[in-house]
Amino acid sequence: MGKIFSNEVKQALQDIYYNERAGRGKEALALLEKASAAGDGDASCILARCFCGYQYVWSGHGFPEDDNRAISLLHKSVEQGSALGVLVALRSGELTPSVQKKMPFANLMEAFEEVLGIAEAGDAFCQYTIANSYFWWDFLRIQNKGRDSFPNQEAYRAYLKENISQCEDWFWKALRGGIYFAANNLNRYYTQGDEDIIAPRPEMAKDLWKIGAEYGHPIHQSIYADKLENAGQNEEALRWYKASAEGGQPGSWCDVGRFYMEGKGVEKDEAYAVQCFEREIPIGNIGSYNYLGKAYFFGRGVAQDYAKAFQLLSYAYDKGSKWGVFYLGKCCFYGLGTPQDYTRALQFLNEVNWNYWEADYLRGMIYARGLGIAPDIPKGIAYLQKAGSHQEAKEELLHYKKTLFGKWVRR
């Protein structure tokens, strides 16, 4: 590798990291694949990061996660002579002694200085990499130093503080240059400090997500919108959710839909809310499956369709979300959009782990009447009494009485 990146790597960094909302991630991935195959070690390094999941690359690109391929590509980047690959492999725990022997550098400091030169020339990804070398204490291995390199503990602590603190300026440079991940580590640096060496300064973190949002990063626009919503600033929150959604952040159209469905910070528009939820169905967003399922269940913004409601809510449930479990239970209880099945209804209703009178009422009916199971009148009465402030439960309770011996029976 020379002192600058190839045109292919520069373009890929632009499309994948610095201007992710342009929607050119897949084109950039193909560009990296070709460059990596042609021997470009930096391309192999960036390509490896693309397969490492949402913690290392924006989820909006939709790149597949493949840890084995990422590791193979990192090793390949080191062998191909990428100084950046050396530092990223070190940070990832993949620069084993055997891999390190294959790098064409005399030592880690030589690789570090090459990446530092590109960072000083203005590349944000390298600035982020340099910052991480300080933030995560990789500088110890790079500089080949440790506690035994210093005459006393005080000198060692001074050395650690001097190096760790350098991450702050580099993270800011990386953030301004287009690496939104830098804000994540800055937030940790400011809110947690670093052991007893760097003191926390939480006040420095308060505007990080706003800054990232203003720079145009969809994920930061979503995080900032969350904060505004929690603060009750709904109109402003909706503005940022929309910006995030238009930039391609997964889940943000669902948030926009929530606001329009509830009339939160905007005039209620249930039909438009449904359109927002539908936009996220192709990417499998669980929230949109839940909200769209509820819309079909009640006929809000769409014609009521219990079968579609059950299908959508079941998809979310099968993916681990219990948000719509009550509606699934109710559908099974009454046979709405699915065959009536009291046993299955009870399974769903028993997963309702929040206080809700209708869930208690339906469970009470199943236990007290023995619907699909052996009757357990005392258990059914307990659920009915829990829901007893509602008319349906009151009327059902009239069908039961206690005997002289205190046993509940049906009249």
How many whole angstroms from its chain centre is CA 33?
26
When pLDDT is cut at 50, 70 and 90, the band that residue 388 belongs to is confident
Note the pLDDT tens digit of each residue in 214-243: 999 999 999 999 999 999 999 999 999 999
User: Has residue 119 been placed in a domain?
Assistant: yes
DSSP label at 3? S
DSSP label at 136? T
Res 210 pLDDT > 90 = yes
Angle at 373 between CA 371 and CA 379, to 5 degrees: 85
User: Has residue 154 been placed in a domain?
Assistant: yes
Integer Cα distance of 178 and 14 in angstroms: 8
Alpha-helical runs (H) found in 319-390: 325-334, 342-349, 357-369, 377-386
User: Has residue 134 been placed in a domain?
Assistant: yes
pLDDT of residue 1: 43
Res 369 pLDDT > 80 = yes
When pLDDT is cut at 50, 70 and 90, the band that residue 193 belongs to is very high
Instruction: Return the closest-CA partner of residue 198 out of 223, 167, 228.
Output: 167
Q: Please tell me the pTM assigned to this model.
A: 0.91
User: Has residue 197 been placed in a domain?
Assistant: no
When pLDDT is cut at 50, 70 and 90, the band that residue 406 belongs to is confident
When pLDDT is cut at 50, 70 and 90, the band that residue 71 belongs to is very high
pLDDT of residue 359: 97
80, 73 contact by CB (below 8 A)? no
Summarize the confidence of residues 5-11 as an average pLDDT: 97
User: Has residue 147 been placed in a domain?
Assistant: yes
Res 106 pLDDT > 80 = yes
156, 147 contact by CB (below 8 A)? yes
* Number of compact structural domains in the chain: 1
When pLDDT is cut at 50, 70 and 90, the band that residue 292 belongs to is very high
User: Has residue 313 been placed in a domain?
Assistant: no
User: Has residue 225 been placed in a domain?
Assistant: no
Q: What percent of the chain has pLDDT over 90?
A: 96
For residue 93, give the CATH number of its domain. Answer: 1.25.40
Summarize the confidence of residues 205-212 as an average pLDDT: 96
99: which 2 tokens? 């891999």
Q: What is the mean pLDDT of the chain?
A: 96
Note the pLDDT tens digit of each residue in 249-283: 999 999 999 999 999 999 999 999 999 999 999 99
Res 172 pLDDT > 60 = yes
Where in the sequence is the domain holding 105, given as residue range(s)?
7-179
Integer Cα distance of 365 and 359 in angstroms: 10
User: Has residue 201 been placed in a domain?
Assistant: no
Res 2 pLDDT > 60 = no
Integer Cα distance of 155 and 34 in angstroms: 49
